[in-house]
Amino acid sequence: MVSRRDQPPASPRTVVLGFDALSLAYLDDFSLPGFDALRSRGVEAPLRSTHPPWTASAWPSMFTGTDPGVHGVYDFFDHSTGYPDEAAIVTREDVRAPALWNYCSARELPSVVCNLPVTYPADRIDGTLIPGYLAPESAPGHPEGVREELSAALGTDYRIYSRAETSNDTEAKLAGYLDLIDLRRRSAEYLLSTREWDLAVIQVQKTDAVFHNFEDRDAHRRVYEAADGVVETVLETIPPGTNVIVCSDHGVGPVPGYRIYVNEILRREGLVEAAAGRAEASFGAAKRRLLDGNESANGREESSVAESNGRNVGTDGIGDAGANGRTGRNGEDGGSGGDTKKDSSVSPAATAVTAATSALGHVGITPADVYATAQRLGLADVLKAVVPDDARGGVTETVDWPASAAYCRGRNELGVRLNVDGREPAGVVPESEYEATREAVITALRDLRTPDDEPAFEWVRPQEAVYEGPRTEDACDVLFMPSEMDHVVETQLVGRRFVRAECYDHKPLGSFIASGPAFDSSTPDELSLTDVAPIVMATLGQPIPERMTGTVPDGLLNVPVSTAEYTNVAVDTGADEATDDRITDRLSDLGYL
């Protein structure tokens, strides 16, 4: 392998190392020589995420330099086709803004991009791009054959997800995380050493997943140490004079508060209608297809909504049983979700469960009590996995999306969507009643207090007070932030508004660390996630695209900062040549066909 270590760059170069959910607090807790080296000679600051602070919307905000109101991704799912049970997973084609590497290509600057979420299908760029999280395991990169080349060079298959991604074996799961991070380390070394590049972006996802699936501090430490190995290898591989930026899409930390069942609250306000026995999507099965890279069409699933936000997806995406036994709780890997198949006949097991539910009711224990207790213990998906579909209506009801006036369509959006006539397929809220209905939602949530008599939400605001841009109307009509992000949002109807949480989940402040010739010694109090892309462009000696909403803080850089229109930027994923095939394959990957 030929190293560029001793070849000073002829023009500015910048490496961006993205670590999902990386928190300055945890960097302080562990011995991490790679991170420490950067921190000691550079600048660092808290990095405020966009709203909502989740992977699917946040990483596009980082790599486009725009808020969701501009790039249009608010969730792991695209809701533009109708109601939540018809949504499809987001792809690069849903990100309606150019990325850093598109701007670089327009300036004839080659890029290396590896493992960034929401980059499937791969952009055809000047350089190399290998998709990351939310892509099928078999997703090709650009140029054609790059994954095969990388696998041959590494002596093992290059993977997007770990080999034990859905395992309930905690040791195997953690070992899979560590192996995957080491694979990223070796991939970064190979790509940075063998490709021409001015910009390189390498991402590690499992610094987020470990908190969602392990409460063991030792597991957190081991994953952070593995991530530190990525930093050390990159620093050893890149030539002197390269700018290095470390950033995260959001933070992470303990959630000592409650699960807030927003749709249950809205139901009590007369805004949500319930439907008994509606099928839920098998997102666990969809993930298995994604992990296997199965791209065959198998016919539409009975539904495409899963447990944790109308889907069997945790806070940060594709679901499986959590290694800590709290399946479907809150994380990148929340929710096991076995196959759901409708059966017109009533099974003996279903009859038994229904009878048991009825018997419990006679002694004052409702299905909601059973489900709420299971949820508190992290066993909600286990309960559902052993209860036949035709008996699930006796365990919990689900939201009747078309019949409801307003609903929380996904836990990750941190918002409520109104079912408006003329906008939604079967809208029930007349345009003349829009403002009154929205104000009713705002009032209900703004006045909501926890069982500890504290405000449940830090703020509750109308759509236009949170977002600005051409995609604002695709957002929820009402947005909210749980107080100090010490609560998590749920969408199920379980007969209760609050259940204790006691888990880990996302926090709005991530991390920014930077070192290199372009950086001054000034340390800002705080940066925005959308500032990263403008900073990167400036460190490369390029003008900042005018369409970026982020800025370069005063005093952060010692290089000129200017702006330009960039009228010749192309975003090409090959969709013009194979749009129908790509969409069909994507839906099939995820169990929707």
What is the predicted pLDDT for the residue at 355?
42
Q: How far apart are CA 11 and CA 522, in angstroms?
A: 24
Q: Where are the domains of the chain?
A: 14-253+506-589, 258-279+342-500
Three-state SS for 573? coil
Neighbours of 141 (CB within 10 A): 23
| Gyration radius of the chain's alpha carbons | 23
Q: Between helices 206-213 and 170-194, what is the axis angle to 10°? A: 170
Q: How far apart are CA 262 and CA 243, in angstroms?
A: 44
At residue 504's C-alpha, the angle toward residues 500 and 506, to 5°, is 115
Three-state helix/strand/coil letters over 121-174: CCCCCCEEEECCCCCCCCCCCECCCHHHHHHHHHCCCCCCCCCCCCCCCHHHHH
Neighbours of 248 (CB within 10 A): 29
Amino acid at 46: P
Amino acid at 292: D
Amino acid at 306: A
Exposed e or buried b for every residue in 15-52, given b needs 16+ CB within 10 A?
bbbbbbbbbbebbeebebebbebbbeebbbbbbbbbbb
Q: Which residue in the block uniquely carries the two structure tokens 């999507």?
A: 281
Q: Which residue in the block uniquely carries the two structure tokens 């998590």?
A: 488
Q: How far apart are CA 142 and CA 101, in angstroms?
A: 12
What is the predicted pLDDT for the residue at 586?
37
Q: How far apart are CA 219 and CA 162, in angstroms?
A: 16
Q: How far apart are CA 514 and CA 503, in angstroms?
A: 31
What is the predicted pLDDT for the residue at 361?
41
- pLDDT below 70 — which residues of the chain? 1-10, 277-396, 575-593
Contact between 63 and 129 under an 8 Å Cβ cutoff? The reply is: no
Contact between 55 and 249 under an 8 Å Cβ cutoff? The reply is: yes
What is the predicted pLDDT for the residue at 301?
31
Strands 251-255 and 503-507: antiparallel
C-alpha 590 chain-centroid distance: 16
The overall average pLDDT reported for the chain is 83
For the chain, what's the residue count? 593
Residues pairing with 411 in the sheet: none
Residues pairing with 203 in the sheet: 18
Contact between 511 and 23 under an 8 Å Cβ cutoff? The reply is: yes
Contact between 464 and 61 under an 8 Å Cβ cutoff? The reply is: no
At residue 354's C-alpha, the angle toward residues 352 and 355, to 5°, is 65
Contact between 182 and 154 under an 8 Å Cβ cutoff? The reply is: no
14-253+506-589 adopts what CATH topology?
Alkaline Phosphatase, subunit A (3.40.720)
Q: How far apart are CA 476 and CA 346, in angstroms?
A: 38
Contact between 130 and 200 under an 8 Å Cβ cutoff? The reply is: no
Tens-place pLDDT, residues 223-242: 999 999 999 999 999 999 99
What is the predicted pLDDT for the residue at 583?
36
Neighbours of 53 (CB within 10 A): 27
Q: Nearest to residue 132, comparing CAs of 170, 188, 85, 88?
A: 188
Q: Which residue in the block uniquely carries the two structure tokens 């009975």?
A: 302
Number of H helices, E strands in the chain: 17, 25
Q: 202 is written with which tokens?
A: 């390498």
Amino acid at 502: E
Contact between 530 and 548 under an 8 Å Cβ cutoff? The reply is: yes
C-alpha 496 chain-centroid distance: 27
Q: Nearest to residue 353, comparing CAs of 367, 335, 336?
A: 367
